[in-house]
Amino acid sequence: MVKICCIGAGYVGGPTMAVIALKCPDVEVVVVDISEARIAGWNSDRLPIYEPGLDDVVKRCRGRNLFFSTDVERYVGEADVVFVSVNTPTKTRGLGAGKAADLTYWESAARMIADVSRSDKIVVEKSTVPVKTAEAIEKILAHNGRGVRYQILSNPEFLAEGTAVRDLFAPDRVLIGGRETPEGQAAVKVLKDVYARWVPEDRIITTNLWSAELSKLAANAFLAQRISSVNAISALCEATGADVTEVACSIGKDSRIGPRFLSASVGFGGSCFQKDILNLVYICECYGLPEVADYWRQVIGINDYQKSRFVNRVVSSMFNTVAGKKVAVLGFAFKKDTGDTRETPAIDVCRGLLGDKAVVSIYDPQVTEEQVRRDLAMNKFDWDHPRHLQPVGEPADQPVAVTSDAYEAAHDAHAVCILTEWEEFRNLDYRRMYDLMQKPAFVFDGRNIVDPEKLRDIGFIVYAIGKPLDQWLKDMPAVA
């Protein structure tokens, strides 16, 4: 029986190990983390992350062959296979600051593995890491191994939050990279045999280590590029009177392009896209490829432009000031069906509105008031450190309220900004909301989930990204 241990009980480690335990009932799976609060959450009825279907998977396995513990050294020492799923934040100081991945936590994990191991181990990179990280980890383990042999594998995750359990049950592909040696290929087979319990063999891809490491960065860069591409077109649509939804539908019918990731929005967020592209930019610069670095940097540039463009549209439409005006923000998570707020566009939009002295009222069905206030007080990139190491000061005394429903948020507001595509926002009683608001009442739809014409019939002035502009908006400047 293979014993598996995963270091890191976050958005990747927890769900991945839970599904492995469910599909491989004869395999002992232990998820370890130094955060007592996080492990307590995994052992409770209220899991520390929200993901549809995850509760059921955990409850079916927990206590049988799935365990959560803070006894990191014990379970790492006992394991045959050690997954490492720790934070790899963007460096905020020193060489590569603002772009390079900070591998402090990865190096610490590698040294701990070497300290506690008394038997040969397969160490699996599950975190997104720069190309050639495996080489550095091999050196640390080799120089501290005391005769213990290690094989390093790269097994990047390709999960989408909100559908992570479904993605794990039926993945597009499982990628395993290993050394092209007999020992390396034997380690690849061990991990491949685990996934083969439920994943068809033609969906399990094996490569060398470097291809697997780079594939993760490249995949996220390509996905983010599509979002920035359609967002760039959305700006042109507004200027010309075209409809970005119609344009996206048209080009998505081309089988060479396809329809996925062509929804214009206020911008992309989440823990991976920006961080991984910045990492890719830094790697390109290190290898003397400045033109390639500049190309990928512009994907982030367009994303930042889209967020600032949205804020400018709000301010300019409301007589060029939102000072003292209440603005309701519907949605704070970076996408629907998750409580994850990492790099959410809502942070930059709220900060932009607060910078113009708006009074902001926020509602999100899965994000707590504590998380909202932490995010608005936190410095860029600090979110990717373990929670107890996040250098958050006292939240500034800002005019921000967090409400328990959308109508409370909109009460007496001058405008509503829709920043997350939660299904409940599609079905709100907008007539009731209109009656609660100051007039003229504005809706700024950053996710294109409402019908602009229906809202205009109610009386709203509506801005929807990439859609033909309301006459009111045509008469207002696009930039505040």
Which residues are part of a known binding site for NAD(+)?
8-13, 33, 38, 86-90, 127-128, 161, 272-275, 342
44 CB contacts (<8 Å, ≥6 apart)? none
Q: How far apart are CA 468 and CA 362, in angstroms?
A: 27
Residue in the block written with tokens 């409301």: 318
Within 10 angstroms of residue 174's Cβ, the number of other Cβ atoms is 21
Q: Which residues line the annotated binding site?
A: 8-13, 33, 38, 86-90, 127-128, 161, 272-275, 342
61 is an active site residue: no
CA 55 to chain centre: 20
Instruction: Output the DSSP codes for 411-434.
Output: TT-SEEEE-S--HHHHT--HHHHH
CB distance 279 to 99 below 8 Å:
yes
Q: How far apart are CA 193 and CA 318, in angstroms?
A: 60
Among 6, 272, 350, 417, the active-site one is 272
Q: What is the DSSP letter of 338?
A: -
For residue 354 the two structure tokens come to 């607060």
Residue 360 phi/psi, 5-degree rounding, is -105, 130
Q: How far apart are CA 215 and CA 414, in angstroms?
A: 46
Half-sphere exposure of 36 (CA within 13 A, CB side): 0
278 CB contacts (<8 Å, ≥6 apart)? 90, 98, 99, 100, 300
What is the set of active-site residues?
272
